[in-house]
Amino acid sequence: MKLLLDIPVPGQISSVIVNGAREPWKHVEGTFGVPRVEIESAPAARWEVRIEWTGHTPDLISILPNPEDAGKNSNDTFDWNSKYPANERFETVNLTPFFNDDVKHIFENEYRSPRSPFCSLATPKQGIGGWCEPDTTFNVDDSGLRNLALENNGKIILPNGVPFKTPTETNTTNVIFTSQWQNYPNEVSVPLSGKSQRIFLLMAGSSNPMQSWMDNGEVVVSYTDGSQDRLPLQNPTTWWPIDQDYFTDDYAFRLDGPLPPRLDLKTGRIRILNAATFKGKGGKVPGGAATFLELALNPNKELKSLTVRALANEVVIGLMAVTLERE
């Protein structure tokens, strides 16, 4: 059989040797925590795989890069607690022309299509609940988000200094919703320009247990040379539902990677979650919560666009704010 080996690596790779011959390898995209690589080899009766790396530092995330990724930051261990210097350059992206709804309306719609024509256990028409909870509702209240932005001239600012621009006026659109439901487009693209080493996102939307451990959606940053960087929105690692925090423990609901920061929409409280202290917690968030995410970019390439796209059925993927870290 052909060999396809996917493993974590705790250091900087210097060589991969399979059955005595040097073999190529590549990064496994969309992984969080410890970096992983993929090794392929032709069919053989057995394989002896030798991977040589320098050092053995579990926190080291910069493994030998692909030339295409030269200069690109790693996404795996971004520290949301590390404060940026006061002179750091950030640029907020104007999403106003692309907003298509108010975030608090997410569960006020009737999601009727596409649906199976047969008896099924589909999500209720309001977009939340289940077959045994058909009347489930959830009230999203974004007043805290708007008040927080009003206090800072239309921006919310993370403890590390990253700003996000968001509308302050009550009952105005403040989110780009995408979905496989016909209520919203499957994807929306926003033009970008210049160069950036990292992009920050404020996102909110829905998910459900049937979409666990799969990509509910994605954010794709395209460059003018045709290449792309992708952030998978996976339940439960990078995609958290607006109505609740995930419950985590060391058993059935284990998460080994970092947890994304959250913004409580009703109070405006920003929470930088720590995986160790968060264990055993989770549950409904009154008024709902949005999620902060980031994606490392190639600072040597010219930006073209950002696309937010819904992939899974019965979910809504929303983009509320975008900020670029400029050199």
Dump pLDDT digits (tens) for 252-294: 888 888 999 999 999 999 999 998 899 999 999 999 999 999 9
* 131 or 314, greater pLDDT: 314
Give residues with Cβ within 8 angstroms of 292, minimum separation 6: 80, 158, 200, 201, 202, 203, 260, 261, 262, 263
Task: Select from 175, 108, 111, 141 the least CA-distant residue to 264.
Answer: 141
The pLDDT score that the predictor gives to residue 31 is 65
Backbone angles phi, psi at 275, to 5 degrees: -60, -40
The pLDDT score that the predictor gives to residue 70 is 47
Place of tokens 């952030």: 231
pLDDT at 118 > cutoff 70: yes
pLDDT at 159 > cutoff 90: yes
pLDDT digits (tens, 9 = 90+) for 7-57: 887 677 888 888 888 888 888 876 666 678 889 888 888 888 888 876 544
Helices and strands: H and E segment counts in the chain: 2, 21
Q: Which phi-psi region, left, alpha or beta, contains residue 21 (left: φ > 0; alpha: ψ -120 to 50)?
A: beta
pTM: 0.78
* 192 or 22, greater pLDDT: 192
**What is the Cα Rg of the chain in Å?**
21
